[in-house]
Amino acid sequence: MELLRDPSNDRVVKTLKPPPHRPLSHQLMFPEKLKNKPDWRILLDHLSKEGRIAKDDLIKLVSECNKILKNEGNLIYLHDPLTVVGDIHGQYYDLVKMFDVGGNIETTKYLFLGDFVDRGSFSIEVIVLVYAIKINFPNTIFFLRGNHECRQLTSFFNFKDECIQKKTLSSRPLQV
């Protein structure tokens, strides 16, 4: 993935690589080899570098995850062992660390207690990653809705503003 250029050579921290120049390509995000499921590993890496994804891919991701969630019951029965994850609140890098210490995503059962958004600056990235993982592992990744997953709180806190800001930034012409 091509990195952003620094024509003015004014990056304060020269050793820190700039974020990717363009959104993750559809072919990388939904490779045919995964039967058009999102490649959560590539997505995790891309988002960790503060990369973006295309609006159409975001809509597809949300739509596919919603299909799975709508087919789950209102009451879920889980058996241990499982890793219980509390409020993430938009802390993407904490979520990534949680996966490191909580167990292999492919073999560990996870229960998320909600509150994925608000307060942190990376709520969209949190939602994108956990939705991608849910699509890949629908029988071992489970979500409960927290009180922050409602219109009133996402408007009061910063999730709505984050969505508007990142949508505005992604719709600007690319500066090369």
The residue annotated as part of the active site, out of 21, 46, 89, 148, is 148
Q: What residues contact residue 47 under an 8 Å CB cut-off, 6+ apart? A: 92, 122, 125, 128, 129
DSSP-based helix, strand, coil % in the chain, nearest 5: 45, 5, 50
* DSSP bridge partners of 24: 53
Look at the chain and count its residues: 176
Is 26 an active-site residue?
Answer: no
Q: In 3-state terms, what secondary structure has residue 12?
A: coil
Q: What residues contact residue 167 under an 8 Å CB cut-off, 6+ apart? A: 55
Write out the catalytic residue numbers. Answer: 148
